[in-house]
């Protein structure tokens, strides 16, 4: 039997993990970790359904922040196609195409430290129009204050993406222009405004396993688990300070997914950036470990994502089908079940 939406039981989700305890999860034999993660996954979700989002960079490059991984920072010498905030028509056309292609959520990213008032006004209108197409909306615009989160919520924004990126301890090695607390403050505003939180991080930046455990602890110990947890594998872009970091062990990446699933059993764990460098077999292990969301479409923000045909073939090989809508109403319960309608179009 297949169901589109998870049937969450009212279980007590934990928010009191210690780093040592989570390191012990990581340190288990691979097969034991996978078994535990798969049990959690099956208990909460249909293991053969993956939620599909499409990304669009609505404002690219020229960002004043100095995030070491990011091709869009003015601090790095990367050749990106810099452009100001896109016109409404262009954005709506991209959203319609994404919908036709089977995406249930349209995620829009802007390379800002925070949105300035004139841009913010435009962004609010963009949310209203995309929402009117019948899609879930997600935005990632940098830091927001309380009033901005309330306005976005009123406009119909479903999700806000704002990543912690790494552990508190390693953060200063990667970003110096804003603090960990700045990130947490924006996340609290988003939560208080009643939007769903999309928050995760990046692995493969030279951090330790302890850092990875500590980042997951930060996420799981938030007052409420983020509804969506993107786990990005660093895309090494020439011209960024992290372009020469050693390749990351694929099985350690799978462990990261599995531990995220165990800590946040009712969250959508997103296999995010970095799929272009992953084999089908590695992605299959990620789905087995509990990943159940991903970006679909040839482009992430500035870097490539696997071609749509390649992902369609992967889904066919694995017998995976896309989720149309999550219909998740609270952290602990999800009552809505709906007929599966989504298909992947090329």
67 has catalytic annotation: yes
Q: For residues 284 and 162, what is the distance between their CA atoms, to the nearest angstrom?
A: 26
CB under 8 Å to 33, separation ≥6 — which residues? Answer: 25, 26, 255, 258, 259, 289
CB under 8 Å to 281, separation ≥6 — which residues? Answer: none
198 has catalytic annotation: yes
Which is catalytic among the residues 107, 199, 286, 334? 107
Q: Which residue has the tokens 């970003």?
A: 175
Work out how close the CB of 29 gets to ligand SF4 at its nearest, in angstroms, rounded to a whole number. Answer: 35
The crossing angle, in degrees rounded to 10, of helices 250-263 and 280-289 is 20
Among the residue ranges 21-29, 41-49, 68-76, 78-86, the one whose residues contact ligand SF4 (CB under 6 A)? 68-76
Q: For residues 121 and 124, what is the distance between their CA atoms, to the nearest angstrom?
A: 5
Residue 3 touches which member of ligand DTB, ligand SAM, ligand SF4, none, C-beta under 5-8 Å by kind? none
Q: Does 110 bind ligand DTB (CB under 6 A)?
A: no
Q: For residues 288 and 281, what is the distance between their CA atoms, to the nearest angstrom?
A: 10
334 has catalytic annotation: no
Contact 243, 237 (CB under 8 A): yes
Which is catalytic among the residues 270, 275, 286, 334? 270
* DSSP track, 167-219: -HHHHHHH--SS-HHHHHHHHHHHHHTTPEEE--EEE-SS--HHHHHHHHHHH
Q: Does 283 bind ligand DTB (CB under 6 A)?
A: no
Site for ligand SF4 in 98-127 (CB under 6 A): 111
Q: Does 303 bind ligand DTB (CB under 6 A)?
A: yes
199 has catalytic annotation: no
Residue 73 touches which member of ligand DTB, ligand SF4, ligand SAM, none, C-beta under 5-8 Å by kind? ligand SF4
User: Which of 44, 72, 101, 305 is in the footprint of ligand SF4 by CB under 6 A?
Assistant: 72
Known catalytic residues are 63, 67, 70, 107, 138, 198, 270
Instruction: Kindly list the residues in this chain that would bind ligand SF4 in the complex (CB under 6 A).
Output: 63, 65, 67, 70, 72-73, 111, 142
Binding site for ligand DTB (CB under 6 A): 55, 71, 109, 140, 161, 163, 200, 230, 232, 235, 272-273, 300-303
């Amino acid at each position: 039997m297949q169901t589109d939406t998870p049937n969450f039981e009212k279980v007590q989700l934990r928010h009191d993990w210690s780093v040592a305890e989570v390191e012990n999860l990581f340190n288990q034999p691979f097969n034991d970790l996978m078994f535990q993660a798969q049990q959690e996954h099956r208990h909460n979700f249909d293991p053969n359904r993956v939620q599909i989002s499409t990304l669009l960079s609505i404002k690219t490059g020229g960002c004043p922040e100095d995030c070491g991984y990011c091709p869009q920072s003015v601090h790095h010498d990367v050749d990106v196609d810099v452009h100001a905030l896109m016109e409404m028509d262009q954005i709506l056309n991209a959203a319609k195409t994404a919908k036709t292609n089977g995406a249930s959520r349209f995620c829009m990213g802007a390379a800002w430290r925070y949105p300035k008032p004139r841009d913010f006004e435009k962004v609010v209108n963009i949310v209203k129009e995309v929402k009117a197409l019948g899609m879930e909306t997600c935005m990632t615009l940098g830091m927001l204050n309380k009033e901005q989160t309330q306005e976005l919520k009123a406009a119909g924004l479903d999700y806000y993406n704002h990543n912690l990126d790494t552990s508190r301890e390693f953060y200063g090695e990667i970003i110096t222009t804003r603090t960990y607390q700045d990130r947490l403050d924006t996340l609290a505003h988003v939560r208080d405004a009643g939007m769903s939180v999309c928050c995760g991080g990046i692995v493969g930046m030279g951090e330790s396993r302890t850092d990875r455990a500590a980042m997951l602890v930060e996420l799981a110990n938030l007052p409420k688990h983020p509804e969506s947890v993107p786990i990005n594998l660093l895309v090494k872009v020439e011209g960024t300070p992290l372009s020469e970091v050693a390749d990351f062990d694929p099985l350690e990446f799978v462990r990261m997914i599995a531990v995220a699933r165990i800590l946040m059993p009712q969250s959508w764990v997103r296999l995010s950036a970095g799929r272009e460098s992953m084999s089908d077999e590695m992605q299959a292990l990620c789905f087995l470990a509990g990943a159940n969301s991903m970006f679909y479409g040839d482009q992430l923000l500035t870097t490539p994502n696997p071609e749509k045909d390649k992902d369609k073939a992967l889904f066919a090989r694995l017998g995976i089908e896309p989720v149309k809508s999550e219909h998740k109403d609270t952290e602990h319960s999800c009552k809505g079940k709906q007929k599966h309608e989504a298909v992947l179009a090329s």
